[in-house]
Structure 1
Amino acid sequence: MDSDDRDRDDVVRFWQGLGLPGIIDVHTHFMPERVLSKVWAYFDSAGPLTGLEWPITYRRDEDARLELLRSFGVLRFTSMLYPHKAGMAAWLNGWAAGFAARVPDCLHTATFFPEAAGAETYVREAVEAGARVFKSHLQVGGYDPNDPLLEPVWGLLAEAGIPVVTHCGSGPAPGAYTGPEPIGRLLARHPRLKLVVAHMGMPEYADFLTLAEAYPGVRLDTTMAFTDFTEGFTPFPAGETERLADLGDRILLGTDFPNIPYPYVHQLHALERLGLGDAWLRAVCHGNASELFG
């Protein structure tokens, strides 16, 4: 049995043991191949930047990645993609719309960037074209979520009720506008925004849990949190586990597939060993995302 077969069997055994029909992963990456190759190159060189060796476990072509994800029993997933400069977002949105059209089990994903030339226009076009989720990467994009150029974008997405998965925590390396303070100011203006804090907000876990407690629209995804890899450099505070239970209806499974340095099932086992029970796991791995996305 090769490693893919073992991975598949392990993942399927996990969700079948919970009595689920499969799992929903709100944080997976599909993007144009030339863009993804640059992302992989970044991780290949991440050691000098972050002090971490970061091998890509699922470095495959697109068709192979899709086949593997489906074999795991992932019923719905996303194509998280993000610009790092002006002029990229509209092009990425066009690619993502085409991807969602040919890959119907992928939630139609879109993105944005603070730019004078039409951010509100292309976000509105993406919404009208059926986008189900947006990605905002404050670390890579290097922008303030409170940039006035984005104000109409946030307002539009809050009104439409479309979730935005946002890398806003300062891990694995801080950005100029990461951390809870910029997002707190954003939520104060747009309290109905459906904001999904990527990576549980690591390393500012407690602060982002506090924002989730204050704003009913805020959710957190589990991407890379609680795994051996992440616990080695930014462990989740043991004293905060009870808050995970209290917010169990607003935590969503995310993995970062394919850009993870360990087997997919390890993320699931990391959640299981929190000891919060099968009902919590069923909600996190399926029910919460099913309710959010319909």
Structure 2
Amino acid sequence: MAERTTPGPQSDAEIPAYVDSLGLPGIADLHVHFLPEPMLRKVWAYFDAAEAHYGVPWPITYRLPEEERLNLLRQFGVHAIPALTYPHKPGMAAGLNAWNADFAARVPDGIHCATMYPEPGVEDYVAEALETGARLWKLHVQVGAYAPDDPLLDPAWAQLERAGVPVVIHAGSAPLPGEFTGAQRVERVLDRFPQLALVIAHLGMPEYDAFADLTERFPHVHLDTTMAATDFTEARTPMPSRYRERLPDLRDRIVFGSDFPNIPYPYAHQVDALARLDLGDDWMRAVLWHNGARLLALDPTYCA
């Protein structure tokens, strides 16, 4: 008999009851963006012009003031709130790390995040961020237009490997391929630093299988679900039918991600899209909470 899968929430208001029905204390979402206001306005302006970039509209569902966005996540059950930032040119990362430290200081349930860029001095500001408590990193290979295996990053990768902090990396070629996207360069990084706790954003789409292979090969690599299996993504970057057959075996290496607030549908739809895969409630429990809570070292009483 197939394992039961509880139907997912059909609206944001239904999320807490759904999470409670699974016996979970909340959602561990590793892929949430809070940004400095000038940067956020530029990101939203980019998505407002998405039809020119991607050929389809990309409306921002949660175009709200920061405090309203924080309160919504709390209502959904997100216990620890990331503020993933990422630079698109040299000279930005240290400033973003300073903003992230301030965010974590003023938001009691905020996660102290950090980022980096291949540039001279990267090892210094990565060391400083680690010393001041950063525990979740974000890199965006396509937006930054850099190679993750750039030798300039090696000292920083070595520090992050020793620290064991999770690093969310967008290296897949969706929504647009870049010169450095794809699994090959990430594999080179992992060959040099095999204990890195990389979290491959968006399941690595569209290179789903190539990144799943890396997850199976390297002991601390995880995949995040951001935008995966949603109606929006399935219409453009569909999950291969046979890939779904790999997901049960990857259960303990998949973490929940949403891309809140920059998503063109309600938050509940991401949760429901995963439930519609019909992989069972235990799979959903692992993905929605247990795996992410383990990576973020949340309260161990919640991580049984």
Alpha-carbon displacement from aligned partner over 1:54-93 (angstroms, at most 9, x marks no partner): 0000000101101111111111221111000111100000
2:220 paired with 1:217: yes
Q: Aligned residue for 2:14?
A: 10
Distance in 1, Cα, partners of 2:139 & 2:69: 23
Q: For 1:216, give the aligned amino acid.
A: P
- 1:268-287 alignment to 2 at 5 Å? 268-287=271-290
Q: Secondary structure at the match of 1:134?
A: strand
Q: Aligned residue for 2:126?
A: 123
| Alpha-carbon offset, residue 8 of structure 1 | 3.8
Q: For 2:18, give the aligned amino acid.
A: F
- 1:35-46 alignment to 2 at 5 Å? 35-46=39-50
- 1:1-294 alignment to 2 at 5 Å? 7-116=11-120, 118-294=121-297
Alpha-carbon displacement from aligned partner over 1:35-60 (angstroms, at most 9, x marks no partner): 01100111111111111210000000
* TM-score normalised over the length of structure 2: 0.93
Q: Secondary structure at the match of 1:212?
A: helix
| Alpha-carbon offset, residue 242 of structure 1 | 2.1
Distance in 1, Cα, partners of 2:28 & 2:294: 11
| Alpha-carbon offset, residue 105 of structure 1 | 1.4
Alpha-carbon displacement from aligned partner over 1:98-125 (angstroms, at most 9, x marks no partner): 1011112121100001111x11100000
Q: For 2:63, give the aligned amino acid.
A: R
| Alpha-carbon offset, residue 268 of structure 1 | 0.3
Stretches of structure 1 that go unaligned for 5 or more consecutive residues are 1-5
Alpha-carbon displacement from aligned partner over 1:166-202 (angstroms, at most 9, x marks no partner): 0000000011100011111111111101000000001
Q: For 2:96, give the aligned amino acid.
A: L
Alpha-carbon displacement from aligned partner over 1:255-292 (angstroms, at most 9, x marks no partner): 00000000000000000011110011001000011111
| Alpha-carbon offset, residue 7 of structure 1 | 4.2
Q: Which runs of 4+ in 1 moved over 4 A?
A: none
Q: For 1:188, give the aligned amino acid.
A: D
Determine if contact 2:12/2:266 at 8 Å carries over to the other structure: no
Q: Secondary structure at the match of 2:159?
A: helix
Q: RCO greater where, 1 or 2, for CA within 8 Å and sep 6 or more?
A: 2
Alpha-carbon displacement from aligned partner over 1:105-149 (angstroms, at most 9, x marks no partner): 121100001111x11100000000000110010000000011111
Distance in 2, Cα, partners of 1:77 & 1:18: 21
The alignment's C-alpha RMSD in Å is: 1.0
Q: Aligned residue for 1:3?
A: none
Distance in 2, Cα, partners of 1:228 & 1:22: 24
Distance in 1, Cα, partners of 2:70 & 2:255: 21
